Amino acid sequence: MLKEVALVGVHVDWVGSSGLRILLDLELKYHASDIMPTFQEFRTILEGCPDLKHLSIMGWGPRFDDSAVSNSSVTLVIRLPNLIRFSLGFVDTEYAIQLLEHMALPVLTELALEDVSRSLSLCDAKNLPDAKILLDWSTGDHNATPCSKLLTLELHGIRCYDRDALRRFLCVFPAAGKMYLSVADVVLLEALKPDALRPCPALEELHCRGVDFPKLSELVGIRASSLNVSSLRKVRVDLFGDEVDGEQESLTIKRANVELSLDTILLSD
């Protein structure tokens, strides 16, 4: 019996496939609109996996144009009582919100959000979408997925140019002790600095790739001197071959009694 299934842009008999039952790990990636499951098909699949632990949706999940959604006077919610990790790679922020509104994840401890529009070549580096609308929605009262219980937060390629919106978003994760950041704008690093607000106050371990190393070292020092948040204990940074060697920044981080790991990624010509 299959326990892990990854479907990447393939045509599937969403209702008739016996392989989409009693799964522990399910990945749906990059399905075009003509092969996306309807919301009801999507709901049937997930409710047929009551012990599902990990769910990853990249690009698009279900369609929301079927009668199960449009004819309902209330929001139909898919409850996944045992899901501990959810990865959402979104192309459109409004679609991401619509999907999250239909999910109830009461025991979720790991959340990964990724803007995949750039990797799909849907926009260039100068016109990346702003995730503010998604972050603002996430700060609301959504008891179906309590952010206060999350222990690990991953943000990949998330762009938001409103530092206050980022701060409010980061403050809804009081228990998150581990964070992964990749291709993060300096505004996000600035938003992690404590002031009157306490962004991710329990954060102790930070993994970074494609971030501004000087700004990162500055962040580590500020959190180390703050009485309102935990000091970072472990920092891992992936530096690309053409970036600074980070010698001075490394010293700054180590002086804050932080265990630092540096990996250099060589770029091909």
Cβ atoms of residues 154 and 113 within 8 Å: yes
Strand ranges for 146-204 from DSSP E:
152-156, 178-182
Q: How many residues does the chain have?
A: 269
Cβ atoms of residues 50 and 16 within 8 Å: no
CATH match for 4-265 among 3.40.50, 3.80.10, 3.40.630, 3.30.950: 3.80.10
Our CA dihedral for 132, 114, 231, 108, rounded to 10 degrees, sits at 100
Q: Is the dihedral of CA 77, 78, 79, 82 positive or negative?
A: negative
Domains of the chain: which residue ranges?
A: 4-265
Give the strand pairing for 4-8 and 78-79: unpaired
CA angle 137, 143, 147 (to 5 degrees): 65
- The residue among 30, 28, 52, 54 whose CA lies nearest residue 42 is 28
User: Six-digit token pair at 263?
Assistant: 């990996």
The DSSP H or E segment spanning 78 is strand 78-79
Q: Is 262 exposed, middle or buried (0-12, 13-18, 19+ CB in 10 A)?
A: middle
Residue 152's contacts (CB-CB under 8 Å, 6 or more residues apart) are 109, 110, 111, 176, 177, 178, 179, 180
Cβ atoms of residues 6 and 29 within 8 Å: yes
- Residue-wise pLDDT tens for the chain (269 aa)? 778 989 888 778 887 776 778 899 999 998 888 889 999 999 999 999 999 999 999 999 999 887 767 666 567 899 999 999 999 999 999 999 999 999 999 999 999 999 998 776 655 555 667 899 999 999 987 667 888 999 999 999 999 999 999 999 999 999 999 999 998 889 999 999 998 899 999 999 999 998 898 999 999 999 999 989 999 999 999 877 555 566 778 888 888 889 998 887 655 55
DSSP helix/strand/coil, 135:
helix
Cβ atoms of residues 134 and 96 within 8 Å: yes
Q: How many CB atoms lie within 10 A of CB 192?
A: 24
Note the pTM of the prediction, 2 decimals. 0.90
